[in-house]
Each structure stands twice: as C-alpha cells, then as structure tokens.
Structure 1
Amino acid sequence: MHQVIVWDFPTRAFHWLLVMALIFQYVSGDILDDAMQWHFYVGYFTLGLLVFRVVWGVVGHTYSRFTYFVCSPKTVFNYLQGQDTREYLTHNPVGALSTIALLTLFLTQAVSGLFISDDIFYEGPWHSAASDAMIDTANFLHGQMYILLMSIALIHVLAVLFYQFKKKQPLVQSMVHGKKPSVKAGHKPKPLNLLFALMVVALSAGALYLIVEVLPPPVEDSFYDY
C-alpha cells in the first residue's frame, strides 16, 4: 500500500474554510439575533472561496481538476450497483456527484445573497439594482436552497463517517495531510506550483472585490434627504 498525495494544500484549505463558513452562516443566520452584518461579510468570503475553487478546478493541480473526478451518470449508476470496483484516488462517482451538488448549492446561496435584504438594516450589494421579481426569486432561492444545502451537507458528512469507520478509509485524515493510501504505484502528479496557486488566490480575491465593491451601483440613501 502506497501513500499518494492527492489533495493539494489549496484544495484542503478551501475545504476546511468552507466548512467553517457553513457553520458560521448557520449560527449567524439561525441562532444569533445580531450577527446579520457578519452573515453578509462571511457570505462574500464564501463567494470568494467558490470563485477560487471553480478556477482551481479548471487550471489547478492534477487531482483537484473537475476533469479528473467528474464522471458520467452511467458510471455513478454502475458504482451504486457494485459493478465498478476500480480504485478512485480522489472522489468516487457518488462523492464526485455530491461535491458538484454542494458546490452548485453553495454558489446559489452566495450569488442569491448579493440581491437579498433583511428588510431592516442590511442588504446585498446588488439589491438596489435588481427588480422586485429578481429580489423575490433571490429570497426564495436563499431560503429554500439553504434547506437543501444543509440536507446534502449532512448526507455528505454521514457518508464520510461511513467510509471512515465502516470501510476503514481515512478520508478525514486525507483532507488534513493530503495523502491517501493506494494499491497502485506510480501516481506522481506534478509538484504544486505555489506561485501559480497564489496567483489564482489573488485573481479570485480581485474578482470578489469587483463583484462586491466596484461593479454594484451606488446605493441611494434617502434617509437624510429633506
């Protein structure tokens, strides 16, 4: 059994930061009464994380690319039927499907949050530019997709625990140190280009700044207009 570096540091950092962001958003949105401003801030941070992951999934390290682990519905079906016994270094077909579903739902939450308002003090940067119909749609998505997101996230956690303890696959440890055991030798992806990774981080941060601060129209504050 060989130890193979599968999850590069940027992917692992993204994963755990997204986990912490999800927990914070749940607490600030559903439990605390006076944390809505921080709920918006962490929502923007989450959007930045997602921008990074999408870009990294296209141009990033070998095993982090979507083309490496995303598979066809037929492959997922065969895996569920027990007909696919291949070794998967990264996500198995069901795990890949879960990952894409979670990323899609996270993006839905983050983007819809740009258009919503708490109807009291805080609103997303694009709220004033949106039509009433768009705002209603964003509010609906932000509320209803959140339930679906939390449900799939819970299923994802339960699946990880199943593979961790029942099938003895150290998935949690792998997402900490990046290594997974493999029965095959010769899995040697190219070394991580740290400078390139930092460039992708900077690009993602710049894109987030444009989306949240530069491109939205200025908010007209009529409170002090007499």
Structure 2
Amino acid sequence: MPELHTAFFYGTLLHPKILQSVIKHQGNELRICPALVLDHTRHQIKETDYPGMLPYKKSRKLFPKELKARDRTVRGTLVKGLTDADMALLDQFEGNEYKLEKIPVHPLGSLKPLSSSSDADIPLEPPPLPPLDELPPSVEAQTYIWAGDLRDLRPDLWEYADFVRENAWKWITDVNPVAAEHQREVNGVITTREFVDADDGKQVKIVVE
C-alpha cells in the first residue's frame, strides 16, 4: 500500500482553493483540521505575499526582545492522507526557498474531508487558543521550513487574515487570463504564471501547468 503523508500548512496553502489547485484535485481522500506549532514564528518574505516559518531559536535575532510563549506559535492546518504525487506537486509549488522537515503539530479540532472545506472554515478572526499546557497531544507532520537568508524575512509576524483580505485573490486559479505570461523553472519543472489585468487595475496571478 502506498505511503501516505501528513503535512502542516501555514501560508497560502491554508486557503482550501489554493491547496486544491496545487494538488490538482478536490481532496476527497484528504482530512484536514486546524492545528498549532509551538516554538516557531512565521514571517512575510520581503516583496512577496507569502510567508516563511522558522524555529524561534533561528528567528529570535529578528526581534528586539524576547517573545512571549503565545507569540512563538504558528496556527495552520493539518492535512492527512497526502500521496507521493501530492507531495511532488507541493514540492514544485514551494520550490527551493523551503526545505521539508518533520515537526510536532498539535491538532485543534476534528478532522474532516478537504473536499467539504470552504473559505469560511478558516475564520479571519480565529478563536482564542487554549492554554498551551492544555493542548491536545502532538502528531508528527511534515512542513516547509524557510531555507533562505534570514535577511529576506520581515521582522513582523505574517497574518493569514491580512493575506485573505489583501492578496488571496491573486492565487485563485478560477479567473480568466487576458494578458502576458512568463515562465520560471522550479526544481527542473517549468511552471507558467500568467499576470492578468483585473477591472480594478490590479494584477491577478494565475498558475497554469
């Protein structure tokens, strides 16, 4: 039986439509729930919409003072049942800016099918965390840790709510392309990205394989 993978997502892939677009299916066999990682911080990468996550022992130098324990946590989603093919597509999407590592992740809810998820399942204002010493037991999961230069990260913490309000529309693929495209090579695979002029003058980024 093929090996299945468990992963923790904390950035653009928190958005169900973006994750489904990357793995090229609706996720009928995948199970997802909110989750939390301790002793890590999440930062916006300069001149991008998306974040990188680091262990706090590495990101500590970005902050003028020691962070409280709750500020050294990263909320995200835990996804179970990913196939080797799913992971290959995720590796391609993430590129060489990240490295895949195993970390302990604390589930914060019940698992449910990814295919039944909607944008509303990740609220812009998440509920309060339980006391950190009362978290459910952790499970091992793979996640994409920032592998680039620390100087490429903004010191302020990246917020998913800000991403949804301001930038998520750039990453949704079900829009109509109307203008120029360019290509980039990620790990030997050419991925086409189109930039589309929207009615409001913004540019929409679409990933087309």
Same fold (TM over 0.5): no
Query: Highest Rg: 1 or 2?
Result: 1
Bigger share in helix: 1
Larger relative contact order, structure 1 or 2 (CA cutoff 8 Å, min sep 6) = 1
TM-score band w.r.t. shorter chain: under 0.3
TM-score by structure 1 length? Answer: 0.26
- Greater strand share, 1 or 2? 2
